Amino acid sequence: METPWVEKYRPRTFDEIVSQSVAVNNLKQFVESGSMPHMIFTGPAGTGKTSTALIIANHLLKGEDFYRNVLELNASDTVRMNFVRTVLKDFTQQSMLPEDQTIKIVLLDEADNIPNQVQQALRRIIETTSTRVKFILMCNYVDRIIDPIISRCAVFRFVNLSKEKIIERLHYIAKQEQLAIPKAQERAFFETLFFISGGDLRKAINTLQMAVALELLDEKDFNIDEILKISGFVDRNTLSELQKAIQSGDLQGVISIIDTIEYLDCRNFLRQIMREIKKLNLNPRQLNELYTLIGDIDYRVSQGADERIQIIALLADMINKVKSKEEAV
């Protein structure tokens, strides 16, 4: 258990990268041709952006050259103006020997969190060092990267991983680690890991390892609800009780159930509610209104709104819609 499984099972070659064939095939051509541009990898978390960047760096630089000529940074908390003007500039300009023309690679993870003013300084370094230094920027939202940097890079888009591909990878890891998952609940277990991950393979693998570390896979005590709870989600029984209270129009009962939840992660709860809404058999207009409200609540919470108040407002609206549907009938 010493090694995190996300590192132990990190892809080491292009062929091991899951479900990114379009990006990977084009990247292979660039790397094999020896003429590689600066690049931006954009897409959701856990889709292989960092792993792909490391594969490229390992392909171009071997042994000591890799450790000497690759600079890997989490740009969200490291790359600021002073850093760009000193550390990054020195790295791109330094050389062990005057005749040394070994390529240097700068890997900037979470580059979309670099302030615009700092991106302008970074753009200048990208311009002046393009022959010997290659930049690979990784981000979730490419529209947060300034246009002058985007225009100097080849943009590769990484897509969400499918449920089948994530579960297939989890099966592989479980087999390699010789995990004893109860056969009767194996399918539900892996589907729960996929739901918790939200399409993020890294998160799915971390949750699997966490379940093993906490001994939650023991056949006698195996309980999927425990895995949900340690991941910040509401257990299935509580969701069922909430659904009954909503359908019976019992707002006070709903509030009482919410108050019994020891730890409530609003965004995770909203994801679970999205799955439960369909069970209320609302008409399309009501469903669209609820989806819109959920989007509004997600935004309000991200801006600091009180999570409990927002959740109760959502559940109260669901009760009203159930009542109006019954009255219409």
The two three-digit tokens of residue 166, written as one number:
């994530």
274 shares a domain with 180? no
CATH number at residue 32: 3.40.50.300
129 shares a domain with 39? yes
167: helix, coil or strand? helix
Chain-centre distance for alpha carbon 263:
22
pLDDT at 95: 62
The whole-angstrom separation of Cα 266 and Cα 271 is: 9
- The full length of the chain comes to 329
Whether residue 7 lies inside any domain: the answer is: no
pLDDT, mean of each 10-residue run, the chain (329 residues): 83 81 78 81 89 88 84 78 80 65 86 88 83 89 93 88 90 91 87 90 91 81 85 90 91 92 88 87 90 94 92 93 71
pLDDT at 195: 92
pLDDT at 60: 84
Q: Where are the beta strands (DSSP E) in 111-235?
A: 133-139, 153-157
24 shares a domain with 139? yes
CATH number at residue 179: 1.10.8
pLDDT at 196: 92
Burial of 39 (0-12, 13-18, 19+ CB in 10 A): buried
The whole-angstrom separation of Cα 69 and Cα 62 is: 10
> What residue type is assigned to position 249 of the chain?
G
What pairing do the DSSP bridges indicate for beta strands 38-42 and 70-74? unpaired
Of 139, 157, 175, the position where a domain reaches its end is 157
The whole-angstrom separation of Cα 314 and Cα 311 is: 5
Q: Which of 216, 245, 246 is nearest to 229 (CA)?
A: 216
DSSP per-residue string spanning 85-142? IIIIHHHHH--SSTT----EEEEEETGGGS-HHHHHHHHHHHHHTTTTEEEEEEES-G
Q: Which domain holds residue 103?
A: 20-157
pLDDT at 130: 67
221 shares a domain with 196? yes
143 shares a domain with 87? yes
Is 71 in contact with 105 (CB distance < 8 Å)? yes
Structural domains in the chain (count): 3
316 shares a domain with 240? yes
Three state DSSP letters for 40-88: EEECCCCCCHHHHHHHHHHHHCCHHHHHHHEEEEEHHHHCCHHHHHHHH
The two three-digit tokens of residue 307, written as one number:
């999570």
pLDDT at 194: 92
Whether residue 92 lies inside any domain: the answer is: yes
241 shares a domain with 298? yes
Q: Which of 263, 328, 321, 261 is nearest to 293 (CA)?
A: 321
Residues 69, 75, 77: CA angle, nearest 5 degrees: 125
101 shares a domain with 30? yes
138 shares a domain with 182? no
100 shares a domain with 73? yes
pLDDT at 100: 61
- 73 beta partners: 108
pLDDT at 261: 87
Of 157, 191, 209, the position where a domain reaches its end is 157
305 shares a domain with 182? no
CATH number at residue 267: 1.20.272.10
- Give residue-wise pLDDT tens across range 288-308: 999 999 999 999 999 999 999
- Give residue-wise pLDDT tens across range 209-246: 998 888 888 767 788 888 888 888 998 899 999 999 99
Whether residue 149 lies inside any domain: the answer is: yes
178 shares a domain with 140? no
Three state DSSP letters for 144-176: HCCHHHHCCEEEEECCCCCHHHHHHHHHHHHHH
**Which residues lie closer than 8 Å to 264 by C-beta, 6 or more apart?**
234, 258, 307, 308, 311
pLDDT at 65: 83
